[in-house]
């Protein structure tokens, strides 16, 4: 029983990592209908900015919020400058532009900061917490808490503020929104800004665990996609829950299904995704897209 | 929110029938000239350049496969590296374990991938757009792990080493020249087949499914069957490309067939031009040579240069190279004729 | 233009092309003033952390050139990015050999990447020297006389750990964590061969991970649960830190045998914490720049000066930068030994004729030796144990050649 609980707890911790990046992915998709392949690299780059600030001597929480601000502004600028020229192009063109961004961020980060991994500090104490026979790290708990706080804040923003409503409107029906006086272009930019911000949080929570290097988000992005797919791209909460499910399932399968073991862990995670997609294509918590025919 | 489907149909429709006929004629002339040049190259270029051009042909076949599925039929796939890998490993295992002649492995790889693609296409029917992209993404991710797992067949992470085939019948060609000609021949055959497939009723049905699936169904097109078949054909083309790549590079290893390769293929068809056969060749040149040029330009951050290239390309030619040529021609035609 | 004139024109072109083909140089890549050397390295992609090796080699070459070159010739070091992708490696190496006409190819990095060009290099008879991988198959002069490794191979190292476990642990139950690729599997093969038939039964659990996995916590938990009291840790630095930390956090204290790749004080041991990393055993053959033992060592001071002047953006905590420095010194030694005969055949002959080369950044007592039947330049390794602050050498110098 102990090992089961321990693996579940580890899975939740890892799943929290996936879920936080998945949240950023879902955010951009909800606001702009685009799956941003560069999301992971943007998060990584923001984390490097944070690293530079910490290295220059700034205290952690000052750096944290400064990085969030920088990521927010950066996201807005990216949308207005890089994405705007192709806003009305076919969707695949935009995907290619995002891939271009991915490659640029990765390469520039490697060029400025080199590819050697760097340790990144965690704001939470290093002590392990022990409950019964199950042990988990304070950082893991802290990281998941932060992700949940972000999720809550986003929920409140979208549900109860005028700006949030405007953003939702712009995403669902840009033509009517324009008629209502909503600046649709700026709503898209805001969506990117928020996603950049959420990504930066994810990056700073993840880096203490996996160490900071330009390729840090590559593997996580994959799991983030899986989590968002599982949870449903139309549901931010679903993305986080999806992440936890993927993390836990991965660990449990790796532990208990002998012939698969750890060599096919990723494959199993993906197989789960595929099966869910077959049964409920819009994800566990997503709303199926309704088209007018 | 759904994005409106934009196609080139309106622009082209605006040109006159005479312009379209003239475009068709000059296109054939263009292909013939290109073919003649391509045949002359083995005697003009170094072995190394021929090797690079052979890779271009291989990519072109793979890109054509992906384009049939994504460009013409509207099913986005980020998983074609999987079929490429299946083709490559089919060839590698057949040559390495059973001493099969390399030329025979190619149709086998094609048929195997046709079946695999068709089988994958069936459950894929349930998925649209983004979710199909993600499902195929997942497929592509799983492939290196699966290849490493079945170590006994695939050689695991060590890979399988092959020998480059010698020219048959004692022809006075170097192995590189022979592979070039061999790949070119297969390319031409597959391209002609694709042109025929896409030109007639089948082609129109395939495109109709992309543009308006419900209307297509209402008109009596069996969308489910067509979509699965197109997946199969697309996979077959990519599988043949994979088989050829294994013979050309004479080596296969699991980590070479990763998600980045799938993404590279997608970049290739968008840059080359969606829903265009010649686009596959333009795209293949791009994905083969532009990373090398980027490296020559900047040692420090070559992929940043590549990324900038990509973005600028999409600004200037959002329809890809072939698409832009087509549009330009249509506009020119309207003015002249 | 008629078909006949077209054919004529083409034939003429072909004839011109063949006539213009340059006569094959006797010593490709070599002129009176320079020797051209080719290399591929992963400057991008998943293995880009190793790209620093290519950069430190370039830096050292610049230093050598500034000091007059080798026997009056400057080294023209051409290094290309292969992104750790074997097809790209094949293309880049073909470019180096066929287009750039390099004299030799040096320190190409990675096992699958080198496997892809292994046959080609030997068919083309181009020296394929000091490849940057510890796989065992590069030391095979009978079948591949043009290929040679450099660092102690992984299987030999695995042997050492197996022997250590059998000799020093009562009733050993062995758990292994390894990276699911050729590097990991090569080590495990060495471990298993070293354990022998009977010893193999002592392995109670094997766990793997992929480079793309974010954490390996789950694997560590499983290993502890298997009751293992010996831990073969075959992980790269990023995961080694996690493994050491997590084992400590969940209260698992096995005899911890860490692979040499991750035996860096600054990158692994210190971030993992002194408490967690105490008593870990590993092997080493070069001087770790983050080990306080070498703070006042003359050779280390020279190296730091070199890094400050020629590779200031390089990380002075990264042992890869010592590795690259050492391997380039070995190459320079070979070129110097070849004198004025820099034909490929002679370069290979000299590479297979290194006698007792002692480089100051290698651990004391370790010498480089090759012969026409011995293509393993470094075969000696030293067992080391971490005392919480630095590595302490203990026991004798293991010499795999004396087996």
Each residue's pLDDT tens digit, B70-113: 989 888 898 899 999 999 999 999 999 898 899 999 999 999 99
Q: Do C221 and A214 touch (CB under 8 A)?
A: no
Q: Is C271 on the interface with A (CB under 8 A)?
A: yes
Tell me the C-alpha distance between A181 and C381, whole Å. Answer: 74
Helix and strand counts by DSSP (H, E) for chain C: 13, 11
- Residue that wins the pLDDT comparison between B141 and A269: B141
Q: Do B113 and B235 touch, CB atoms closer than 8 A?
A: yes
Number of domains within chain B: 1
Provide, as residue numbers in chain B, all residues whose Cβ is less than 8 Å from the Cβ of C206: none
Return the pLDDT at A92.
84
Residue C167 is assigned to a structural domain of this protein: yes
Q: Which residue has the tokens 């930390």?
A: C245
Tell me the C-alpha distance between B202 and B223, whole Å. Answer: 11
Residue A39's closest CA among A220, A232, A253, A290?
Answer: A220
pLDDT of C79 strictly over 90: yes
- Residue that wins the pLDDT comparison between B297 and C257: C257
In terms of domains, do C111 and C160 share one? no
With a pLDDT cut of 90, the percent of chain B lying above it is 36
Query: Taking residues B315-324, what's their average pLDDT?
Result: 87
Confidence of residue C73 (pLDDT cuts 50, 70, 90): very high
Segment C181-199, tens digit of pLDDT: 888 888 999 999 989 888 8
Q: Look up residue A73 and give its two tokens.
A: 């502004």
Return the pLDDT at C3.
47
Q: Do C338 and C350 touch, CB atoms closer than 8 A?
A: yes
DSSP C240-271: HHHHHHHHHHTT---EEEE-GGG--IIIIIHH
By CB neighbour count within 10 A (0-12 exposed, 13-18 middle, 19+ buried), where does C124 fall?
Answer: middle
- CATH number of domain containing B249: 1.10.3470
Provide, as residue numbers in chain B, all residues whose Cβ is less than 8 Å from the Cβ of A92: 70, 76, 266, 270, 274
Return the pLDDT at C346.
92
Paired with C78 in beta bridges are: C38
**C-alpha separations of A28 from A23, A32, A74, A101, B56 in Å:** 9, 6, 14, 15, 36
First to last CA, chain B: 40
Residue C4 is assigned to a structural domain of this protein: no
A155-171 burial string, b = 16+ CB within 10 Å, else e?
eeebeeeeebebbbbbb
Query: Taking residues C10-36, what's their average pLDDT?
Result: 61
Question: What does CATH list as the number for A2-279?
Answer: 1.10.3470
Q: Do A229 and B131 touch (CB under 8 A)?
A: yes
- Top mean-pLDDT range of A12-16, B44-48, C324-328: C324-328
Helices (H), C67-110: 86-94
3-state helix, strand, coil in chain C (%, to 5): 45, 20, 35
Helices (H), A114-257: 138-160, 162-172, 174-179, 184-210, 216-231, 236-256
In terms of domains, do C119 and C62 share one? yes
In terms of domains, do C76 and C113 share one? yes
Query: Taking residues A89-104, what's their average pLDDT?
Result: 87
Confidence of residue B128 (pLDDT cuts 50, 70, 90): confident
Helices (H), C67-139: 86-94, 111-124
Residue B75 is assigned to a structural domain of this protein: yes
Which residue among B48, B161, B299 places its CB closest to the CB of C99? B48
Return the pLDDT at C15.
44
In terms of domains, do C190 and C250 share one? yes
B147-172 burial string, b = 16+ CB within 10 Å, else e?
bbbeeeebbbbbbbbbebbebeeeee
Residue of B nearest to A175 (CA): B1
Report the residue of B41, B46, B47, B48 to disrupt the C interface, i.e. the one with the largest count of C CBs within 10 Å: B48
Residue B3 is assigned to a structural domain of this protein: no
Residue C79 is assigned to a structural domain of this protein: yes
User: How far away is chain C from the Cα of B145, in angstroms, using its nearest Cα?
Assistant: 9
Residue C377 is assigned to a structural domain of this protein: no
Provide, as residue numbers in chain A, all residues whose Cβ is less than 8 Å from the Cβ of B307: 99-104, 107
Provide, as residue numbers in chain A, all residues whose Cβ is less than 8 Å from the Cβ of B6: 88-90
DSSP C143-202: T-TTB---SPPHHHHHHHHHHHHHHH-SS--EEEEEESSHHHHHHHHHHHHHHHHHHHTT
Q: Is C81 on the interface with B (CB under 8 A)?
A: yes
Return the pLDDT at C6.
45
Query: Taking residues B35-53, what's their average pLDDT?
Result: 87
Q: Is C22 on the interface with A (CB under 8 A)?
A: no
Residue B150's closest CA among B78, B86, B239?
Answer: B86
Q: Which chains touch B (3 or more CB pairs under 8 A)?
A: A, C
Q: Do A250 and C180 touch (CB under 8 A)?
A: no
Provide, as residue numbers in chain B, all residues whose Cβ is less than 8 Å from the Cβ of A226: 138
Task: Identify the DSSP state of A127.
Answer: P
Task: Tell me chain B's radius of gyration from C-alpha atoms.
Answer: 20
Return the pLDDT at C24.
42
Q: Do C131 and C138 touch, CB atoms closer than 8 A?
A: yes
Q: Do B302 and A107 touch (CB under 8 A)?
A: yes
Return the pLDDT at C402.
63
In this structure, of A152-156, B227-231, C64-68, the range with the lowest mean pLDDT score is A152-156
Provide, as residue numbers in chain C, all residues whose Cβ is less than 8 Å from the Cβ of B148: 180-181
Residue C311 is assigned to a structural domain of this protein: yes
Number of domains within chain C: 2
Query: Taking residues B56-78, what's their average pLDDT?
Result: 93
- Residue that wins the pLDDT comparison between A221 and C303: C303
Q: Do A211 and C241 touch (CB under 8 A)?
A: yes
Helix A236-256 to helix A216-231 angle (10° resolution) is 110
Helix A162-172 to helix A2-32 angle (10° resolution) is 80
Residue C246 is assigned to a structural domain of this protein: yes
Residue of A nearest to B151 (CA): A263
Query: Domain ranges in chain A?
Result: 2-279
Confidence of residue A74 (pLDDT cuts 50, 70, 90): very high
Return the pLDDT at C192.
92
Strands annotated E in chain B: 160-161, 251-252
Return the pLDDT at A54.
93
Report the residue of B95, B158, B305 to disrupt the C interface, i.e. the one with the largest count of C CBs within 10 Å: B158
Return the pLDDT at C300.
94
Return the pLDDT at A259.
66
In this structure, of A129-138, A186-195, B118-127, B264-273, the range with the lowest mean pLDDT score is A129-138
Instruction: State whether residue B151 is helix, strand or coil.
Output: helix
CB within 8 A of C123, min separation 6: which ones?
A: none
Q: Do C13 and B161 touch (CB under 8 A)?
A: no
Q: Which chains touch A (3 or more CB pairs under 8 A)?
A: B, C
Across the beta sheet with C34-41, what order do the strands follow?
C74-81, C34-41, C104-106, C128-129
Return the pLDDT at A286.
79
pLDDT of C108 strictly over 70: yes
Which residue among B47, B163, B249 places its CB closest to the CB of C90? B249
Helix and strand counts by DSSP (H, E) for chain A: 11, 2
Return the pLDDT at B166.
82
CA angle in degrees (0–180, nearest 5) for B16-B18-B21: 115
Q: Do A262 and C237 touch (CB under 8 A)?
A: no
Task: Kindly tell me the sign of the dihedral angle through the C-alpha atoms of C260, C264, C267, C271.
Answer: positive
Confidence of residue B158 (pLDDT cuts 50, 70, 90): confident
In terms of domains, do C269 and C245 share one? yes
Return the pLDDT at A280.
81
Confidence of residue A292 (pLDDT cuts 50, 70, 90): low
Provide, as residue numbers in chain C, all residues whose Cβ is less than 8 Å from the Cβ of A18: 214
Provide, as residue numbers in chain B, all residues whose Cβ is less than 8 Å from the Cβ of A293: 214
In terms of domains, do C235 and C180 share one? yes
Return the pLDDT at B18.
72
Q: Do A22 and A228 touch, CB atoms closer than 8 A?
A: yes
Q: Do A27 and A247 touch, CB atoms closer than 8 A?
A: no
With a pLDDT cut of 90, the percent of chain A lying above it is 22
Helix B102-124 to helix B80-98 angle (10° resolution) is 150
Tell me the C-alpha distance between C220 and C177, whole Å. Answer: 8
Count of B-C CB contacts under 8 Å: 84
pLDDT of B270 strictly over 70: yes
Return the pLDDT at B129.
77
Range of the domain at C391: 154-284+383-402
pLDDT of C235 strictly over 70: yes
In this structure, of A15-24, A253-262, B298-307, C216-225, the range with the lowest mean pLDDT score is A253-262
In this structure, of A169-173, B134-138, B331-335, C268-272, the range with the lowest mean pLDDT score is B331-335
Paired with C283 in beta bridges are: C383
Residue B7 is assigned to a structural domain of this protein: no
Provide, as residue numbers in chain B, all residues whose Cβ is less than 8 Å from the Cβ of C185: 156-158
Tell me the C-alpha distance between C260 and C344, whole Å. Answer: 33
Segment C326-340, tens digit of pLDDT: 999 999 999 999 988
Q: Do C182 and C111 touch, CB atoms closer than 8 A?
A: yes
In terms of domains, do C158 and C140 share one? no
The pairing of beta strand A134-137 with beta strand A128-131: antiparallel
Residue B4 is assigned to a structural domain of this protein: no
Which residue among C14, C112, C182 places its CB closest to the CB of B43? C14
pLDDT of C307 strictly over 90: yes
Residue of B nearest to C17 (CA): B44
pTM of the predicted model, to two decimals? Answer: 0.87
Residue of C nearest to B247 (CA): C87
Task: Kindly tell me the sign of the dihedral angle through the C-alpha atoms of C352, C354, C359, C364.
Answer: positive
Confidence of residue C87 (pLDDT cuts 50, 70, 90): very high
In terms of domains, do C224 and C339 share one? no
Provide, as residue numbers in chain C, all residues whose Cβ is less than 8 Å from the Cβ of A107: 44
Provide, as residue numbers in chain A, all residues whose Cβ is less than 8 Å from the Cβ of B319: 90
B212-247 burial string, b = 16+ CB within 10 Å, else e?
ebeebeeeebeeeebbbbbbbbbbbbbbbbbbbbbb
Return the pLDDT at B222.
87
User: How far away is chain C from the Cα of B192, in angstroms, using its nearest Cα?
Assistant: 24
Residue C195 is assigned to a structural domain of this protein: yes
Q: Do C260 and C233 touch, CB atoms closer than 8 A?
A: no
Return the pLDDT at C45.
80
Residue C19 is assigned to a structural domain of this protein: no
Q: Do C215 and A110 touch (CB under 8 A)?
A: no
Return the pLDDT at C19.
40
Which residue among B70, B76, B270 places its CB closest to the CB of A96? B270
What is the overall mean pLDDT for chain C? Answer: 87
State how far Cα A118 lies from the chain centre: 21
Helix and strand counts by DSSP (H, E) for chain B: 15, 2
Query: Taking residues C373-392, what's their average pLDDT?
Result: 90
pLDDT of B10 strictly over 80: no
Question: Which C residues, 112 through 171, put their C-beta within 8 Å of a C-beta on chain B?
Answer: 112, 115-116, 118-120
Which residue among C49, C222, C314 places its CB closest to the CB of A213? C49
User: How far away is chain C from the Cα of B208, in angstroms, using its nearest Cα?
Assistant: 38
User: How far away is chain C from the Cα of A128, in angstroms, using its nearest Cα?
Assistant: 6
**C-alpha separations of C48 from A119, B1, C67, C94, C216 in Å:** 17, 40, 30, 22, 21
pLDDT of A290 strictly over 90: no
pLDDT of C2 strictly over 60: no
Tell me the C-alpha distance between C380 and A23, whole Å. Answer: 51
Q: Do A171 and B1 touch, CB atoms closer than 8 A?
A: yes
Residue of C nearest to A119 (CA): C271
The overall longest dimension of chain C from CA atoms, in Å, is 89
pLDDT of A233 strictly over 90: no
- CATH number of domain containing C215: 3.40.50.2300
Helix A265-279 to helix A236-256 angle (10° resolution) is 130
With a pLDDT cut of 70, the percent of chain C lying above it is 93
Query: Taking residues B35-51, what's their average pLDDT?
Result: 86
Residue A55's closest CA among A113, A127, A129?
Answer: A113
Confidence of residue C13 (pLDDT cuts 50, 70, 90): very low
With a pLDDT cut of 70, the percent of chain B lying above it is 94
pLDDT of B234 strictly over 90: yes
CB within 8 A of B119, min separation 6: which ones?
A: none
């Amino acid at each position: 029983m102990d090992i089961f609980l321990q693996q579940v707890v580890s899975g939740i911790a890892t799943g929290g990592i996936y879920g936080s990046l998945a949240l950023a992915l879902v955010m951009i998709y909800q606001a702009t209908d685009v799956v941003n392949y560069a999301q992971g690299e943007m998060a990584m780059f923001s984390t490097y900015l944070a690293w530079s600030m910490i290295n220059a001597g700034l205290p952690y929480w000052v750096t944290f919020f400064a990085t969030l601000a920088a990521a927010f502004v950066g996201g807005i600028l990216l949308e207005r400058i890089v994405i705007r020229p192709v806003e009305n192009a076919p969707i695949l063109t935009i995907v290619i532009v995002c891939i271009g961004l991915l490659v640029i961020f990765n390469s520039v980060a490697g060029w400025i900061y080199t590819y050697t991994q760097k340790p990144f500090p965690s704001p939470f104490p290093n002590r392990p917490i022990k409950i019964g026979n199950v042990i988990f790290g304070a950082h893991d708990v802290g990281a998941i808490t932060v992700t949940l706080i972000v999720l809550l804040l986003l929920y409140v923003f979208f549900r109860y503020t005028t700006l949030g409503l405007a953003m939702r409107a712009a995403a669902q029906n840009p033509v009517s929104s324009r008629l209502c006086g909503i600046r649709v272009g700026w709503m898209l930019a805001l969506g990117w800004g928020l996603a950049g911000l959420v990504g930066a949080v994810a990056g700073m929570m993840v880096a203490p665990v996996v160490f900071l290097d330009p390729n840090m988000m590559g593997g996580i992005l994959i799991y983030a996609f899986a989590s968002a797919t599982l949870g449903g791209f139309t549901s931010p909460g679903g993305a986080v829950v999806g992440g936890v499910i993927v993390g836990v399932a991965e660990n449990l399968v790796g532990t208990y299904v002998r012939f698969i073991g750890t060599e096919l862990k990723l494959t199993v995670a993906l197989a789960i995704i595929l099966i869910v997609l077959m049964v409920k294509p819009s994800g566990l918590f997503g709303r199926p897209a309704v088209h007018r025919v | 929110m759904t994005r409106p489907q934009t196609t080139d149909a309106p622009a082209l429709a605006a040109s006159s029938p005479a312009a379209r006929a003239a475009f068709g004629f000059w296109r054939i002339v263009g292909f013939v000239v290109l073919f003649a040049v391509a045949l002359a190259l083995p005697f003009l270029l170094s072995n190394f350049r021929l090797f690079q051009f052979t890779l271009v042909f291989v990519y072109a076949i793979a890109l054509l496969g992906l384009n049939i599925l994504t460009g013409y039929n509207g099913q986005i796939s980020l998983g074609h590296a999987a079929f490429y890998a299946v083709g490559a490993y089919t060839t590698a295992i057949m040559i390495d374990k059973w001493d099969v002649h390399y030329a025979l492995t190619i149709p086998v790889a094609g048929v195997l991938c046709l079946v695999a693609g068709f089988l994958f296409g069936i459950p894929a029917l349930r998925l649209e757009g983004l979710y199909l992209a993600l499902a195929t993404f997942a497929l592509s991710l799983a492939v290196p792990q699966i290849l490493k797992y079945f170590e006994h067949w695939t050689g695991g992470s060590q890979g399988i080493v092959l020998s480059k085939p010698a020219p048959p019948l004692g022809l006075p060609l170097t192995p590189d020249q022979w592979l070039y000609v061999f790949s070119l021949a297969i390319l031409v055959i597959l391209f002609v087949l694709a042109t025929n497939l896409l030109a007639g009723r089948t082609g129109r049905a395939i495109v109709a499914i992309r543009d308006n699936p419900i209307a297509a169904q209402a008109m009596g097109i069996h969308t489910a069957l067509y979509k699965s078949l197109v997946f199969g054909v697309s996979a077959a083309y990519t599988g043949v490309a994979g088989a050829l790549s294994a013979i050309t590079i004479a080596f296969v290893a699991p980590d070479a067939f990763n998600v980045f390769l799938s993404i590279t293929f997608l970049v290739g068809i968008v840059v080359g031009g969606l829903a265009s056969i010649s686009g596959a060749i333009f795209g293949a040149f791009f994905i083969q040579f532009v990373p090398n040029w980027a490296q020559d330009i900047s040692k420090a951050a070559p992929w940043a240069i590549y990324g900038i290239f990509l973005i600028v390309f999409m600004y200037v030619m959002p329809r890809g190279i072939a698409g832009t040529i087509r549009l330009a021609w249509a506009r020119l035609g309207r003015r002249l004729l | 233009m008629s078909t006949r004139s077209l054919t004529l024109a083409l034939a003429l072109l072909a004839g011109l092309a063949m006539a213009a083909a340059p006569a094959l140089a006797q010593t490709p890549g070599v002129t009176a003033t320079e020797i051209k050397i080719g290399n591929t390295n992963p400057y991008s992609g998943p293995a880009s952390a190793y790209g620093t090796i290519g950069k430190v080699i370039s830096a050292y070459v610049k230093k050598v050139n500034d000091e007059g070159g080798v026997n009056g010739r400057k080294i023209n070091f051409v290094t290309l990015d292969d992104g750790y992708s074997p097809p790209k490696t094949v293309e880049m190496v073909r470019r180096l050999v066929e287009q750039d006409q390099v004299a030799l190819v040096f320190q190409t990095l990675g096992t699958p990447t080198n496997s892809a060009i292994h046959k080609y290099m030997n068919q083309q008879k181009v020296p394929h020297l000091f490849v940057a991988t510890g796989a065992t198959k590069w030391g095979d002069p009978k079948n591949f006389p043009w290929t040679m490794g450099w660092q102690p191979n992984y299987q030999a190292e695995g042997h050492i750990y197996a022997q250590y476990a059998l000799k020093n642990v009562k009733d050993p139950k062995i758990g292994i964590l390894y990276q699911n690729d050729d590097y990991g599997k090569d080590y495990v093969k060495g471990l298993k061969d070293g354990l022998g038939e009977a010893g193999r039964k002592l392995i109670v659990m094997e766990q793997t991970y992929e480079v793309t996995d974010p954490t390996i916590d789950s694997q560590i938990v499983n290993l502890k649960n298997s009751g293992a009291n010996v831990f073969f840790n075959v992980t790269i630095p990023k995961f080694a830190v996690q493994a050491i930390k997590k084992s400590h956090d969940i209260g698992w204290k096995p005899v911890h045998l860490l692979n040499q790749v991750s035996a860096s004080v600054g990158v692994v041991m210190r971030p993992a914490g002194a408490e967690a990393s105490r008593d870990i055993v590993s092997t080493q053959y070069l001087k770790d720049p983050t080990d306080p033992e070498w703070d006042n060592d003359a050779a280390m001071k020279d190296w730091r000066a070199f890094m400050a002047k020629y590779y200031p953006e390089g990380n002075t905590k990264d042992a890869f930068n010592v590795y690259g420095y050492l391997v380039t010194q070995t190459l320079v030694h070979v070129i110097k030994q070849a004198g004025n005969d820099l034909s490929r055949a002679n370069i290979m002959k000299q590479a297979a004729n290194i006698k007792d080369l002692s480089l100051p950044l290698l651990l004391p007592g370790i010498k480089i030796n090759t012969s026409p039947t011995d293509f393993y330049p470094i075969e000696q390794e030293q067992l080391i144990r971490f005392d919480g602050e630095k590595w302490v050498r203990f026991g004798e110098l293991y010499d795999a050649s004396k087996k």
